[in-house]
Amino acid sequence: MSKSMKRVTAALEAAGLNVNILKMANETRTAADAAREVNCELDQIAKSIIFQGAESGKIYLFITAGGQQVDPAKASKLTGEPLGRADAAAVRAETGFAIGGVSPIGQLTAPAAYFDETLLRFDVIYAAAGTPHHIFPIISQKLLEISASQLSDFV
């Protein structure tokens, strides 16, 4: 098991959850790939989108439904500063995950996190488990809780 997936597993266990991490036959780097692999609706995939503050350099996590896009203006308003996409090196350094496998939990340094209310339309959603081949099912409300996210309108 990779270090990344071990951190996700540890975060789930620390939250008292017994979740079966699923190994997919094909990559799940995109929400569309993950939805196809697990045979669910696109919006049942919880994407972990990382932005970086243009002024502070801080990393911000936006957990959004697979078919939604983060609105940069709304996201900037939430964080109080202009945002840009974080580069792969910054994502890896702060979260410990490579792009394509960023999990909403188990980061090296937990960033300020925001949660898309679209995900709450589903009982069960799926999120990256730290690798491009692993995802985990979770009750949407539980992911909101254990990711220490703020329910926000940013799409």
Angstrom distance (rounded) from CA 119 to CA 104: 13
- What residues have CB less than 8 Å from 50, skipping those under 6 apart? 59, 60, 61, 62, 85, 86, 90, 91, 94, 95, 102, 111
**What band does 130 get if pLDDT is binned at 50, 70 and 90?**
very high
Contact 75, 62 (CB under 8 A): yes
Category of 57 on φ-ψ map: left (φ > 0), alpha (ψ -120 to 50) or beta: left
CATH 3.90.960.10 fits 3-152, yes or no: yes
- Cβ contacts of 59 within 8 Å, gap of 6 or more: 50, 51, 52, 53, 86, 90, 91, 94, 95, 109, 111
The structure's pTM equals 0.95
Structure tokens that stand for 108 in this block: 């090296």
Percentage of residues of the chain with pLDDT beyond 70: 100
Residues forming beta bridges with residue 151, ordered by sequence position: 115
Residues with Cβ < 8 Å from 101, sequence gap 6 or more? 4, 29, 128, 129, 130, 131, 132, 134
d(CA 116, CA 26): 26
The mean pLDDT of 137-142, rounded to a whole number, is 97
Domain range summary for the chain, segments of one domain joined by +: 3-152
pLDDT grade for 27, boundaries at 50, 70 and 90: confident
Helix (H) or strand (E) holding 1: none
